[in-house]
Amino acid sequence: MSTQIKTRFAPSPTGDLHIGGLRTALFAYLFAKKNQGQFFLRVEDTDQTRYKEGSLNSILEGLKWAGLHYDGDLVYQSKRTAIYQKYAAELVKAGHAYHCFCTADDLATMRQEQTADGNTVTRYDRRCLNLTPEEVKAKLDAGTPHVIRLKVPSGETEFTDLIRGKVKINNADVDDQILLKSDGFPTYHLANVIDDHDMGISHVIRAEEWLPSTPKHIILYQMFDWDIPEFAHLSMVLAPDRSKLSKRHGATSVLEFKNLGYLPEAVVNYIALLGWNPGTEQEVFSLSELEKEFDLAKVNKSGAIFDIEKLNWLNGHYIRQKTIQELAELCLPYLQADENIKIQEYKNNYIELVVGLEQERLKKLSEIGERTKYFFARPTVDPQMMVWKKSTPEETQERLKFLLEFLATVPEENWTRNTLQDIVIEEIGRRGYGNGDTLWPMRVALSGEEKSPSPFEIAEVLGKSETIERLKMIIEKA
């Protein structure tokens, strides 16, 4: 029998899409693509109390940014309440579930008593299971608030997780899970199983935290007499100190990474390697390569450590892959947002030249303004910084004067980084100056920075008159 592979990502709109969530989505997506299957998106929004405004947008925008397109229509659980109620009623009818009228107070007392008896795990004591059909009917007719609980059968539940191997649990350790709440909404467990079945999901790929829920789900599949999908539970994404990755470790939300100037190619590539080992030395993968190479069998069951340095390295790699025009376009919003830069005063061509100079070094797009600010305003130059380590302030002045005079004689058509470099270095040699004691002050005078591209690259982009002007001002100030 050949069944089509169908996977899904099923986030709850309870907060921003985090990097761990994106990884879950990516693995489910890649597994589907690798197997010519389909990848669906379902919003698990039945818990109204945990709903957070804006989170659905964050999820949709994050997935779109990463390039993870889903098949079919977006499924909203909140629109399917009647379906869950119908199935819950069927379970009750078949004797697999029962009405429970216990109040929050009843349950609290039950828990207290169980704890006092020395139990570390408390569970529902099934007192409502002992109600006669007449008692149940009377309470329902009287409109008594109630929930529907799963009647966990005795025995054992076993399944093989595609990442973790065999998992076996004693049903006696499974609580009679609430399936339908008193407000008529399903719990996660009921809705999740019904939807995975209705959507024809063949492989449930999700976070490790749902592993303990899986036996309940399997019991439900069995009660409905439905095919049980395969399960793969992905290990957690950990911070370098092996704690759960959280805000205190820096950015965690996908859109935050976007705003910091990470490219989607880099983020996708990086998180694919969080737990998946391609089995070769290759580390750079495009999304379409991942779609061909990804293998669930090579996903690690131990926690994956988030390493920002590696992400930065990959981001630098993808930044270098861009054409200058593409990179300038990507950097533009950051330059526009920089209040010290009046970007509208500059032509595209100039912005491209400026950005082009940083392409080799740039790790995040958001660094662009800070790195290139001296191209958009004359820098404040620290006279101390201009003095090369083996030189003196007097020598520095002399070199700057030489540069000013010499550069003024260079015709415009020779004003390119390579020609400037050739002729300036030749002249330095002729005069018996050193490269360091001449070029260091030139570079610092033009940029105000300790680190920057070479003085010839800066001079080329600034143009002859601005270069001369900057040198002149520095000399006059001394």
Name the residues annotated as catalytic.
247
Nearer to ligand GLU, 185 or 285 (CB): 185
Beta strand residue intervals within 125-174, DSSP E: 147-150, 156-161, 165-170
Would you state the structure tokens that stand for residue 428, as one six-digit string?
């330095």
Spell out, one character per residue from 113 to 132, where the chain touches ligand GLU: x when CB under 6 A holds, - when not: --------------------
Q: Does 149 bind ligand GLU (CB under 6 A)?
A: no
Residue 461: closest CA among 446, 451, 449: 446
DSSP H or E run through 233: strand 230-234
Q: Does 231 bind ligand GLU (CB under 6 A)?
A: no
Q: Does 10 bind ligand GLU (CB under 6 A)?
A: yes
DSSP H or E run through 224: helix 214-224
How many Å apart are CA 45 and CA 373, to the nearest integer? 46
Nearer to ligand GLU, 8 or 149 (CB): 8
Distance, C-alpha 261 to centroid of its chain: 12
The residue range among 5-13, 388-396, 435-443, 460-468 that interacts with ligand GLU, by the rule CB under 6 A, is 5-13
Q: Does 174 bind ligand GLU (CB under 6 A)?
A: no
Asked if residues 404 and 471 have their Cβ atoms less than 8 Å apart, the reply is yes
Nearer to ligand GLU, 11 or 275 (CB): 11
- What is the smallest separation between the CB atom of 123 and ligand GLU, expressed in angstroms? 22
Q: Does 355 bind ligand GLU (CB under 6 A)?
A: no
DSSP 8-state symbol, 164: T
How many Å apart are CA 269 and CA 436, to the nearest integer? 41
- What is the smallest separation between the CB atom of 8 and ligand GLU, expressed in angstroms? 7
How many Å apart are CA 102 and CA 122, to the nearest integer? 15
- What is the smallest separation between the CB atom of 104 and ligand GLU, expressed in angstroms? 24
The residue range among 10-18, 120-128, 169-177, 365-373 that interacts with ligand GLU, by the rule CB under 6 A, is 10-18
Q: Does 11 bind ligand GLU (CB under 6 A)?
A: yes
Nearer to ligand GLU, 192 or 315 (CB): 192
Contacts by 420-423 with C-beta closer than 8 Å and gap 24+? 420/456, 420/459, 420/460, 421/454, 421/456
- What is the smallest separation between the CB atom of 186 and ligand GLU, expressed in angstroms? 12
- What is the smallest separation between the CB atom of 14 and ligand GLU, expressed in angstroms? 7
DSSP 8-state symbol, 276: B
Nearer to ligand GLU, 210 or 257 (CB): 210
* C-alpha separations of 178 from 99, 188, 189 in Å: 10, 9, 8
Q: Which of 5, 7, 12, 70 binds ligand GLU (CB under 6 A)?
A: 12
Residues 181-220 that bind ligand GLU (CB under 6 A): 192, 206-207, 210
Beta bridge partner(s), residue 443 = none
Would you state the structure tokens that stand for residue 18, as one six-digit string?
């985090």
Residue 42: closest CA among 18, 11, 72: 11
- What is the smallest separation between the CB atom of 339 and ligand GLU, expressed in angstroms? 39
Asked if residues 286 and 67 have their Cβ atoms less than 8 Å apart, the reply is no
Nearer to ligand GLU, 174 or 335 (CB): 174
Q: Which residue has the tokens 């697999």?
A: 96
Q: Does 352 bind ligand GLU (CB under 6 A)?
A: no
| Total site size for ligand GLU, rule CB under 6 A | 8
Nearer to ligand GLU, 101 or 231 (CB): 231
Binding site for ligand GLU (CB under 6 A): 10-12, 44, 192, 206-207, 210
